Structure 1
Amino acid sequence: MFHPNYPVAQLHPAPYNPRFLDDEAFEALKRSIQVLGMIKPIIVADTGTIVAGHQRTRALLATGKTTTPAFVLAHLNKQDEMKFNQLHNGTDLDTGDEHVTVPPSDVLGYVDVAPHCVTGNLRAAGAPLRHTICGLLTMYGPWGGMVATQSGMCLSGAQYALSCKLVNLPIRVYYVADQDAMRVRAIFGKQYGTFCYDNLPKTTYAQTFAQMYRVRKDKHGTPRGVRAPNYEKIYIPNFRDGERILDFGCGQGDYVRMLQERGVRIWGVEFFYRIGTHLNTEAVHKMIDSLIATLDAEGRFDTVICEFVLNSTDSLEAERSVMTCLNAFCKPGGRIYASGRTLESVEGTLQVTGATQENLVFLDHHGYTARLLKGQWFYQKYHSRKMRLDLAQTYISPDAHTTNAPRAKGTFLLAGTKHREMPRDQVHRALAFEFNLMWPGGQSVNRHEAIIAAYDRALDREATAAAATAQEGPECSTTTTR
């Protein structure tokens, strides 16, 4: 239901707000409200919680206003709340080829326009966006709007208008004077802040649901799951006889088990190994016990693999810790592989024009997006080429490279021979982070002290062996002269 003058005093913010405005952006937003008013309604749950429009409500109050236009929606679930928030905050979602017009108006301000009176290009780019908007319109009814000149030209909200037309719902249009069109376009063309997920809860164990089951067999011996192109095309063909391999973040461990059965000397570690939807903490401890035992027996690994963990980190600290661990567990001159998802794979999502299964993502400046899954915040990171190259050259070697992963659209692979050693104190911090990740119910992995000690023992043995070799020196021969 639309309320043209909802009392701001009756509103309270949601516990999340993924939009960050610096002081300059906030002042610009405040000026735009002083010039145009609140021509974009906020979205409010029937509990009085602001679902979308936190920063504009704050800016409105700073202008001295006490009421705001608002759509009040009933029976919202948390997943849809976040969708509304992200769609509402995506200030540049119109793609420019919608060509939306509405009938001219004799009055300024809000007017409801029937869907059959809206014209536009229903084959415009932005099909994933319209798909999402239509789903929310079907569940909750009208919740947004568009801005148009008195003569009927759309200035903002074209994708929302096309979506309303598709589901046959009226469009709430805010008409402005024709002579104000340029100023309105300029105001809507500005970026008022950026997405920022830093303050959202981080229940890292929720990231386990990004993992896929692979190469598994059912009770009849029939293969199920999916093949991993990196394993099939890159890792396995390049394994060397007798080498020791670590899969760090091995997911459900399918490839590790399969290769162990073939006699490959491979170990796996997964902190969120699960049976169905429940974590199998006993199996996690057994994997860590085996890792410590082989570090003590034979030292660090010849090859370290990290399959699609980088895209499932939930913070920059987690990403740095993962890469530091890969470096730490690999012996000098060994090989490191790490894969993830490319930023390029989602940058073109809004350009899709037809039916699609693409999901919308709203990225912060670090490449992260967030959504609610099974009641927990779930994060994905998309790496630009520069991000990928920086990781490879910082944590592997200056000549490490990044390529698109084979037969896996939208993914990348970092690869190289390790020629960099991370400082021991940095490794200790990373091991403490990774090997003490939180589990549900207030528990944690709590194996950080043991793995740090095992790592130190391995390094000390390497140093002792190197010193002994240096003392022996090169073999030499002597000739006695009489």
Structure 2
Amino acid sequence: MELVSPETVVADPHNPRKTDPARLELVRLSLEKFGFLLPLYATNSGVLLSGHQRAVAARQLGWQLPVVFRQKDERDAHGVNLTFNRATNDFRLTDTDHSRLPIEALFSRLQDLPDAPDPYPCLTMEQWSVRELLSRNVDRFERYAANAARQLAAYNVQMPIVITPHGDVLNGVGRLQEASARRQDMIDCVVLKPDQDADLARFILNKLSMDFSFSDGFKDVLRNNAFRRARQRRRSLGSGYLFAFSVKRCRDFSIGKHRKELKALYGERLLDFGAGQGDEARMLRKIGVKVTTFEPYRAPGKKPTVTAGRRSAFRFLKAVSQQLPFSSVMLSSVLNSVPFETDREHVVTICAALCSPDTTLFAAARSRKDPNWKECSTGIGLGETSSRSARFVLSDEPGLAVSELNADPKIQKYFQPSEFEALFERHFGAVTIGEHINNVTAVCQRPHPVNPARLRKALEFEFDLPYADGRMGLVEEALAAFSKRLGVEL
């Protein structure tokens, strides 16, 4: 930890927090009254990872900053801000809306306190026994906070905890639990002074936070992270392919035994839009179904690359340009991973434009009956998957959650049937909505006439998608292919 000038560090452009002036003033006032109870964290080059608001407040006060500098990790631009935020505060799973603070009451209480005798109490940490602190704070254990702390520990960050002189944890109970799980004997503690207001310090440390507001840069990170993970390979057709057969469990459906039914339903040529790892397309090709795929975020290794995305796009656009007819268009689990509402609208716009009067579009996506959404939205019953990912709900749109904070944060959208119906009815004259294995489903026919301006906007988005190593850059090729196919000028 170093004491440095505020000019030594700069804000991370990917920081997904929107500064609220009233709350920022509370941050400044709390620094005056308690000092820096926790340090800030930054990369060796000075890009802040945690403590953006305190850095601004300290600059207003003319104070220096206590900063822990750490080696930049390749994941730093992919969610470290989210990880720090969830692990610094003792949040519960459902703690996401921070706009309802009793601002005036907090101002009044803070103003009545004397100024901190030491602006930098985090510089004089003490080592305390983990076992002793655990026994004293067992009633404050929070499974979600411990999981968030485990995510932070994966970055090799050992953030101190804040305690009273008697050992009551004011901030960092999750970090204490995580230290215990690693069988750590001692832990760094910042000890509040005996005459300081412990309850107010606890509230400030854990409840005073800014709301999420994803910048354009962070939105592109989330778009790029929408790829299907290598661990999520399919060994059988998913719900998006089988809901029309009323199959109760996908693994019980034999492609070989039902090849005639599959071909009869889906026809001669199928488009799999958002094909993931391509597993389902390969299964269907083996039984003689012609499948065209498009997967802009195919990840042949650990991450999607612009080269792999362009390769998939070129093959797809060739099929579009050749005016190959599609008897069926599949959107299987795709819309769950498309992070923003306008992006999902673009996807459906493109798919509808590829549908002839004889084409049927089949779509399926996780509904809000899905166990992962129930765990995330209610804050109870954390299962194994949830406990690994430290997911939490976003307030930007109903049914949104972000997960995998350490390994490329990913937004998941969970749908209500009414949302699915509204999305597809804007593009099709006949839409039938159903449910299948915690999914909402749609069968869509009679596409509306193409709106050239809307389609052009959708193609400009979809064929210039962002990657960690560049952008797709195929807008002109996409416009040409669709213009040729549809006989319109885009």
Confirm or deny a common fold (TM above 0.5).
Answer: yes
> How many angstroms does 1:276 deviate by?
5.3
Corresponding residue for residue 101 of structure 1? none
Query: Letter of the aligned partner of 1:86 in structure 2?
Result: L
Task: Count residues with an aligned counterpart.
Answer: 422
State yes or no: 1:78 paired with 2:93.
no
State yes or no: 1:286 paired with 2:315.
yes
1:399-437 Cα offsets, whole Å, 9 max, x none, are: 65364x53xxxx634313346737442122113322444
- Structure 2 gaps, min length 5: 94-116, 246-260
Within 2, Cα distance between the matches of 1:335 and 1:190?
Answer: 50
> How many angstroms does 1:322 deviate by?
1.0
SS in 2 for 1:305: strand
> How many angstroms does 1:139 deviate by?
6.7
Corresponding residue for residue 192 of structure 1? 209
Query: Letter of the aligned partner of 1:193 in structure 2?
Result: M
Q: 1:114 to 1:25 in 2, by over 3 A?
A: same
Within 2, Cα distance between the matches of 1:206 and 1:73?
Answer: 28
SS in 2 for 1:258: helix
1:363-391 Cα offsets, whole Å, 9 max, x none, are: 543436487899xxx452222445x6424
Q: Given the alignment, which residue of 341, 361, 364 partners 1:336?
A: 361
State yes or no: 1:119 paired with 2:134.
yes
Corresponding residue for residue 392 of structure 1? 421
> How many angstroms does 1:52 deviate by?
0.7
Of structures 1 and 2, the one scoring higher in RCO (CA 8 A, sep 6+) is: 2
Within 2, Cα distance between the matches of 1:213 and 1:135?
Answer: 19
Q: Whose radius of gyration is greater, 1 or 2? A: 1
Within 1, Cα distance between the matches of 2:275 and 2:197?
Answer: 58
Corresponding residue for residue 464 of structure 1? none
Query: Letter of the aligned partner of 2:479 in structure 1?
Result: E
Q: 1:45 to 1:342 in 2, by over 3 A?
A: farther
State yes or no: 1:142 paired with 2:171.
no
CA contact 2:274–2:334 (8 Å) conserved in 1: yes
State yes or no: 1:326 paired with 2:335.
no
> How many angstroms does 1:58 deviate by?
0.9
> How many angstroms does 1:250 deviate by?
1.9
SS in 1 for 2:49: strand
> How many angstroms does 1:210 deviate by?
1.8
Corresponding residue for residue 146 of structure 2? 130
> Superposition RMSD on alpha carbons, in Å?
4.3
CA contact 1:336–1:417 (8 Å) conserved in 2: yes
Within 2, Cα distance between the matches of 1:392 and 1:355?
Answer: 32
Q: Given the alignment, which residue of 429, 433, 458 partners 2:457?
A: 429
CA contact 1:313–1:380 (8 Å) conserved in 2: no
Q: 1:209 to 1:436 in 2, by over 3 A?
A: closer
Corresponding residue for residue 104 of structure 1? none
SS in 2 for 1:288: helix
- Structure 1 gaps, min length 5: 97-106, 216-224, 460-482
Within 2, Cα distance between the matches of 1:416 and 1:162?
Answer: 48
Within 2, Cα distance between the matches of 1:21 and 1:283?
Answer: 40
Corresponding residue for residue 85 of structure 2? 89
CA contact 2:165–2:192 (8 Å) conserved in 1: yes
TM-score (norm 1): 0.70
1:404-415 alignment to 2 at 5 Å? Answer: 405-406=436-437, 412-415=439-442
Within 1, Cα distance between the matches of 2:290 and 2:283?
Answer: 11
Query: Letter of the aligned partner of 2:332 in structure 1?
Result: E
Q: 1:151 to 1:402 in 2, by over 3 A?
A: farther
Corresponding residue for residue 348 of structure 1? 375
1:79-113 Cα offsets, whole Å, 9 max, x none, are: 268665323323654449xxxxxxxxxx9955522
Corresponding residue for residue 162 of structure 1? 177
